[in-house]
Amino acid sequence: MAHRLVKTLAAAIAVTGLSIGAAQAAGGSAKELKDVEFSHSGPFGTYDRHAVQRGFQVYKEVCSACHGMEYVAYRNLTEIGFSEDQVKAIAAEYTVTDGPNNDGDMFDRPARPSDKFPSPFPNPQAAAASNGGVAPPDLSLMTKARPNGDAYVYSLLTGYGEKDAEGHELTCPEGTYVNPYFVSGHCIAMAPPIDDDLVEYADGTAATKSQIASDVSAFMAWAAEPKMEERKQMGVKVILFLIFLSVLLYLAKKRIWGRLH
Ligand code: HEC
């Protein structure tokens, strides 16, 4: 009986392991991601507020034409250093659909700080129809949805037209674009969205393609995990506490056993 149980368990573990492996193989991008440094990487890393603000500017001026961020509200922007008045002004530039009103009709109004970044399309079908049949996904949690998400977004944005990992030239059907970093095959329906000097940064930073890609990746990382810094600080506190507790227990043990000698 026990023998059978062990065998069943072993088989179950093997199957789980295999399917996880297969899922990783299918989900992993074809080409190894580019080596890019973010201030928020590592156990003590924090977001670079200036980079995240620049990244928001890129999202606002470029990406928001196609991608919504339905889990980020304008008022969250105060967490990356915008003042309440700035947030009000940013929100007012957008129009959101609200309602129904007393006549049962939906109506448009300027966005308020409590509104979320809207999708630019009224529904997924319209989004797909305007983008060669593939709806641009919501970007709120994108850096969490892809392994190594910040480096992934950076590599994707700067990796158009590159050769594959073995150095082979890649080709794609009409309406899709070569990108060896894309998770599902190397042909992506998003046209290269950024280029050098596409935006003019409010803080005067030179807007190279690589700078733009890295800033918008940092912004997306913040959007997906705004509480990361608190999580890391808590980790450090827990470790310090455990060290303190270990010392205390060691001294207590010595004292108690010391009496027996
Ligand atoms: C003209 C419309 C358009 C613009 C502008 C645009 N995208 Fe996209 N994006 C798309 C479409 C369409 C897809 C879906 C591609 C696919 O699945 O083949 C997509 C997919 C993505 C993905 C998901 C890739 C994946 O792994 O599934 C990311 C990340 C992304 N876009 C980031 C950005 C960023 C960042 C910007 C701004 C710098 C941007 N996009 C601007 C249309 C756009």
Q: Note the pLDDT of residue 15.
A: 52
Q: Is residue 157 part of a domain?
A: yes
Q: In 3-state terms, what secondary structure has residue 97?
A: strand
Minimal-distance CA residue to ligand 1 atom 39: 63
User: Could you give the C-alpha distances from 70 to 115, 207, 259, in angstroms and in order?
Assistant: 9, 27, 64
Residue 189 Cα: closest atom of ligand 1? 18
Asked which of 68-77, 136-145, 150-159, 252-261 is least confident by mean pLDDT, the reply is: 252-261
Average pLDDT, the chain: 90
What is the DSSP-derived secondary structure letter of residue 14?
H
46: in domain: yes
- Domain limits for position 156: 2-232
More confident residue, 1 or 110: 110
pTM assigned to the model:
0.85
Q: Is residue 248 part of a domain?
A: no
- How big is the CA angle at 153 (ends 150 and 155), to the nearest 5 degrees? 105
Q: Which atom of ligand 1 is nearest to the CA of 156?
A: 29
- Local confidence band at 11 (pLDDT 50, 70, 90 cut-offs): low
For helices 149-158 and 209-224, angle between their N-to-C axes, nearest 10 degrees: 150
18-32 pLDDT, tens per residue? 544 444 444 444 699
Instruction: Place 5 in a pLDDT band, splitting at 50, 70 and 90.
Output: low
CATH code: domain of residue 189: 1.10.760.10
Whether 53 maps to a domain, the answer reads yes
Is residue 242 one of the residues assigned to a domain?
no
Residue type, 222: W
How many domains does the structure of the chain reveal?
Answer: 1
Of 143, 98, 94, 142, residue with least CA distance to 120: 94
**Rounded to the nearest whole angstrom, what is the distance from the C-alpha of residue 102 to the centroid of ligand 1?**
38
| The pLDDT of residue 69 | 96
Measure the CA–CA gap between 77 and 53, rounded to whole angstroms: 9
Tell me whether residue 238 is in a domain. Answer: no
Q: Quick one: which atom of ligand 1 is closest to the CA of 176?
A: 18
pLDDT at 10: 58
The number of the ligand 1 atom at minimal distance from the alpha carbon of 183 is 26
Residue 253 in any domain: the answer is: no
Q: What is the mean pLDDT of residues 143-162?
A: 97
d(Cα 96, Cα 117) in Å, to the nearest integer?
Answer: 9
181, part of any domain: yes
Going by pLDDT thresholds of 50, 70 and 90, the confidence category of residue 203 is: very high
> Whose C-alpha lies nearest to ligand 1, atom 37?
63
Pocket of ligand 1 (CB under 6 A): 58, 62-63, 65-67, 131, 134, 136-137, 142, 146, 153, 156-157, 183, 188-190, 193-194, 216
Test site for ligand 1: of 33, 61, 66, most ligand atoms within 8 A of the Cβ: 66
pLDDT given for residue 260 in this prediction: 78
Residues 135, 124: contact at Cβ < 8 Å? Answer: yes
